[in-house]
Structure 1
Amino acid sequence: MIKGMANVWVPVQDTDRAVNFYENTLGLPVVKRDGPWAEVDANGIRIGLNGREPQGTQAGGGPVLTFQPDDSIEETVEQLRSKGVEFPAEISDHDWGRVATFKDSEGNDLQLYAPPQG
């Protein structure tokens, strides 16, 4: 059902300000920058800096664990729904990929991520 970790991302209000902090204050190298998305390398673990999904969990603050599904994102959503997992919004499409948001048993934000096709 779940292939592995896609990334860990931290919600930010201002991507430029966050990149400046992680790069210049913490000294972590920026390894990717694409519009409102940036990634820094924290000793082999990539941390994404991005705003929260406009719909979905609507929670404030905190990192989000993002998983790569084994199957298509649609199939994995259906498999998880059959196990009682609730998805508060539909799968959202972006230039950088597709996302389905949900929560774990303790209320922590989780996502499924599928990279863009082609």
Structure 2
Amino acid sequence: MNAIVKLDYVGVPSQDTERARTFYGETLGLRQDANTPSEFWIGETCLSIWEPASFGIPFSPQKNGHLALHVDDVPAARSELEAKGVEFIGETMDSGVCHMAFFNDPDGNDLMLHNRYAPAG
């Protein structure tokens, strides 16, 4: 088998693409792709919003597979998003190697703010 060398994109299901675009672009501040309005860039990874219903697939939000969105300061980023109306699930966690704050997008997909402060071992 050829070696897997990177993650090309992550598909995020939505029931309302325009609402999702607003959330990911305006609320989270992700860079929208110049050619494809339903795609956003996080570093070299593309986040692609899609509507399962348009492919005849029932909608179901992504659960328990949190997209870990790197920020330099989780508490500060959390405060900024809370000021924009984002509701977080529980308190910010410290695992001993990273800080995490969990929330959902408007479609119920699991997301987290994440910062690994300890070196990878």
TM-score range, shorter chain: 0.3 to 0.5
Q: TM-score, structure 1 length as denominator?
A: 0.47
